[in-house]
């Protein structure tokens, strides 16, 4: 089945789309996606194949995750999420461990955003979450993004503590993709409880990276947004 899914993915490749995706996901030298290879397959096409090959084993998924081709890894993660949802608790635990062993292969923002909340976050809903704090302190950009994106599963359950704690840990991260992720996280908290978000902002917004703040206050009314941005700019 592994050779078959690779063959079907190859048949769907589109060189022009691949070129556009390579630019969009910043695969050039020195960029965050350096070395990532695209063959130009749409997400709906990948999801359709993921359904067809939903019974691939973890060993086969490991082979796909090891691939340098982005669409191989994306499709593998779609299948992994499906397997996780259908698994009993022991199976979920095995997939959680498998996922954490593969963080080096979950190495672009769409791969992280697709999978971290649905596997890592979901698994940790009723468990200790110390692993997220370890990931938040990692040298790996993608492990840091996994740490914050995983908290979306908690936010969906109106559980904000770890999301706020990890946001604070990542407040002065150097990478724009972390600034965006933290801002997005704070925005999602604010959509559920703006008072909680504003308590966090009261302590930190003056020294937050501009992009992070813009994402965080995106849903605020215009007057309040301008107030935050003006004070941030002059701090």
pLDDT tens, position by position, 159-205: 999 999 999 999 999 999 999 999 999 999 999 999 999 999 999 99
pTM of the model: 0.96
Q: Give CA separation, 156 vs 84, 106, 117, 212, in Å.
A: 18, 23, 10, 20
Query: Do 181 and 212 touch, CB atoms closer than 8 A?
Result: no
* Average pLDDT estimate for 16-32: 97
Angle, to 10 degrees, between the axis of helix 161-169 and the axis of helix 141-149? Answer: 160
pLDDT bracket for residue 235 (50, 70, 90) = confident
Q: Indicate the angle between helix axes 70-86 and 89-100, nearest 10 degrees.
A: 160
CA 202 to chain centre: 26
- Given this model, what pLDDT does residue 234 score? 84
| CB contact set of 232 (below 8 Å; sequence gap of 6+) | 205, 206, 208, 210, 213
Q: What angle do CA 156, 157, 160 make, to 5 degrees?
A: 85
Q: For tokens 């950009």, name the residue.
A: 141
Over residues 105-114, mean pLDDT: 98
Half-sphere exposure in the Cβ direction for 221 (13 Å, CA): 2
């Amino acid at each position: 089945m592994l050779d078959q899914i690779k063959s079907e993915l190859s048949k769907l490749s589109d060189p022009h789309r691949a070129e556009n995706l390579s630019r969009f996901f910043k695969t050039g030298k020195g960029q965050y996606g350096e070395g990532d290879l695209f063959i130009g397959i749409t997400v709906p096409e990948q999801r359709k194949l993921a359904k067809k090959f939903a019974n691939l084993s973890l060993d086969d998924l490991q082979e796909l995750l090891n691939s340098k081709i982005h669409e191989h890894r994306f499709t593998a993660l779609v299948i992994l999420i499906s397997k996780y949802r259908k698994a009993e608790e022991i199976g979920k635990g095995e997939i959680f461990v498998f996922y954490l062993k593969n963080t080096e292969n979950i190495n672009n923002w769409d791969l992280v955003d697709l999978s971290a909340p649905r596997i890592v976050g979901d698994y940790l809903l009723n468990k200790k979450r110390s692993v997220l704090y370890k990931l938040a302190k990692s040298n790996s950009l993608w492990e840091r993004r996994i740490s914050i994106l995983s908290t979306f599963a908690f936010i969906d359950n109106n559980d904000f503590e770890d999301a706020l704690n990890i946001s604070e840990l990542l407040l002065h991260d150097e990478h724009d993709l972390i600034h965006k992720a933290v801002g997005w996280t704070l925005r999602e908290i604010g959509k559920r409880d703006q008072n909680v978000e504003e308590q966090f902002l009261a302590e930190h917004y003056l020294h937050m990276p501009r992009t992070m703040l813009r994402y965080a206050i995106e849903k605020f009314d215009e007057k309040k947004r301008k107030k935050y941005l003006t004070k941030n700019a002059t701090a």
